[in-house]
Amino acid sequence: MKILVTVKRVLDSNVKVHVNADGSGVDLANVKMSMNPLDEIAVEEAVRLKEAGIATEVVAVSCGVAKCQETLRTALAIGADRAILVETDVELQPLAVAKLVKALVEKEQPQLVFCGKQAIDDDASQTGQMLAALMGWGQATFASKVAVADNTATVTREIDGGLETLELKLPVVVTTDLRLNEPRYASLPNIMKAKKKTLDILTPESLGVDVTPRLDTLAITEPLKRVAGIRVADVRQLIDKLKNEAKVI
């Protein structure tokens, strides 16, 4: 069984977000970029299924600028077998990414696609669901446990009220939540090995996919900052403030 896993290059989660004063966007010049943390969990899960003998090949896929190659090399260092970049400088929105990945799924014929449940930059949480819909496949989003056997995926999902478990016939799209696994650190030998693995580069044009954005971003602004309030001296003063000043209890 082949697994395809999608990875996105995003602003590193430890970097403080700085909004450009002219409203044009978030400052991404000369800041550390990394693999979306939820996609790291997706890669890790795919690699574990290969190590368990359930999957035969793990193909990592990214869509975006040339530097996404670095993100794919990270996926290869974690343990993906090969990688595909769909390279474009056009701003890619989730529907366009879903269409690009659909084109790759049709070429590669994986039985399972792992996506992170959301990217920590646009927080959209759409691509996996859109891909499943475009393929006419079932989906298991926000997964915290995945088991694959007998052509069936059994997935525990994190939902608002707790957990639920789905059974789906393959092929299927699974989007990964935080508690699915703890991704490994790539070892130095594996980072070196990753440099030699195959990384193919395609374009949206070669896949016949129109990636024109459907949403125009008119402005990116900083939210109103919350101002720190006061320090209370003790519990009694806290209760007094909540009762008589804030009037919330």
Q: CA 161 to CA 93: how far, in whole Å?
A: 30
Smallest separation, CB 171 to other proteins (Å): 10
Cα–chain center distance at 144: 14
- For residue 145, report the phi and psi dihedrals to the nearest 5 degrees: -160, 135
Q: Using CB under 8 A, which of the segments 1-9, 70-78, 114-122, 189-197 binds other proteins?
A: 114-122
SS3 of 164-178:
EEEEEECCEEEEECH
Smallest separation, CB 193 to other proteins (Å): 30
Token pair, residue 184, equals 């490994």
Q: Are 183 and 193 in contact (CB under 8 A)?
A: no
Residues with Cβ within 8 Å of residue 88, at least 6 apart in sequence:
63, 64, 65, 203, 204, 211
Smallest separation, CB 159 to other proteins (Å): 4
Cα–chain center distance at 43: 10
Q: Does 160 bind other proteins (CB under 8 A)?
A: yes
Nearer to other proteins, 25 or 52 (CB): 25
DSSP string, 35-72: E-HHHHHHHHHHHHHHHTTS-SEEEEEEEESTTHHHHH
Residues with Cβ within 8 Å of residue 49, at least 6 apart in sequence:
3, 55, 58, 112, 146, 148
Smallest separation, CB 83 to other proteins (Å): 25
Smallest separation, CB 19 to other proteins (Å): 5
| Residues 122-151 within binding reach of other proteins (CB under 8 A) | 122-127, 129-134, 137-142, 144
Binding mask 84-113 for other proteins (x = CB under 8 A): ---------xxx--x---------------
Binding residue count for other proteins, defined by CB under 8 A: 76
Nearer to other proteins, 198 or 213 (CB): 213
Binding mask 5-44 for other proteins (x = CB under 8 A): ------x-----x-x------x-----------x------
Binding mask 182-221 for other proteins (x = CB under 8 A): -------------------------------xxxxxxxxx
Nearer to other proteins, 80 or 104 (CB): 104
Smallest separation, CB 231 to other proteins (Å): 5
Nearer to other proteins, 50 or 157 (CB): 157
Q: H or E element: which one contains 115?
A: strand 112-116
Q: Which of 12, 167, 200, 205 binds other proteins (CB under 8 A)?
A: 167
Classify 32 as helix, strand or coil. Answer: coil
